[in-house]
Amino acid sequence: MTDLHDEQNSAIYLSEYLLEINEGAGFLATLTEDDRDRVRRTGLRTAIHKGEGLFFQGDAHTGIWIIESGRIRTFYAGPSGREITLAYWSGGHFVGGPEVFGRGRHVWSADALEDTELLFVSGTAIRTLVREVPDVAISIIEGLIAKAKCYSALIQMLGTRSVSERLRQLLVILADTHGRHENGRVIIERSITYEQVATMVGATRQWVTQSLDKLQSEGVLNVSRKEIVIHNLERLEE
């Protein structure tokens, strides 16, 4: 199970501000035990398997899903079918917004990166909760603020950084959120594929392969099947 406050299970998205990456993860943790139990009683526990879709572009909004364990990817697919990954969300975050009250239609999709357990809370239930429990309303607002910061940061990165800079920043983010330090190196377990990296930075898998090969030849890092070993983090941060 995922610890909601385990930094090794942080959300991941393109941002220049590493300290804000996991904002919004304490969606239920900020509530009193009684209020938290009330939210759980109004929700429906559900589980999806790795690779399974949670919701899709064009689907009607029905509520939100609070991630209890596992990870969910949100992504947008263009008319050509090309995808761009918006974020990977971990335990404690919710997905399914911004229409938390269940209006309108989804403008992006979500699927599971691994087997994931969630608590679904309908839009109708959320509307009742925010009217009757002030702290739930505050939690919803703070969660939406965190999401707004995430997508604003993503737009800024896509609009102002080259694809090479985005790749380097993603590696810095992975080092910060999922890396362990050993003998002056940062070791990142390979839980993300080249294809997934490509959809995050807005490139092709072939380009990602070539760029990582170049960084290896420069002695910045090494990539194996199981891990990425960063030898020179400062070089990536330049």
Q: How many CB atoms lie within 10 A of CB 30?
A: 14
Task: Let me know whether 21 and 107 are in one domain.
Answer: yes
Domain boundary among 111, 135, 159: 159
Residues 128 and 176 in one domain: no
Q: Note the pTM of the prediction, 2 decimals.
A: 0.87
pLDDT digits (tens, 9 = 90+) for 133-169: 999 999 999 999 989 999 999 999 999 999 999 999 9
pLDDT digit string, tens, across residues 73-128: 999 999 988 899 999 999 999 999 899 999 899 999 999 999 999 999 999 999 99
- What CATH number has the domain bearing residue 130? 2.60.120.10
> In sequence order, which ranges of the chain are alpha helices (DSSP H)?
33-42, 123-132, 134-160, 163-178, 194-201, 205-217, 233-237
Asked if residue 178 and residue 144 are part of one domain, the reply reads no
Structural domain tally of the chain? 2
Give the domain range for residue 46.
7-159
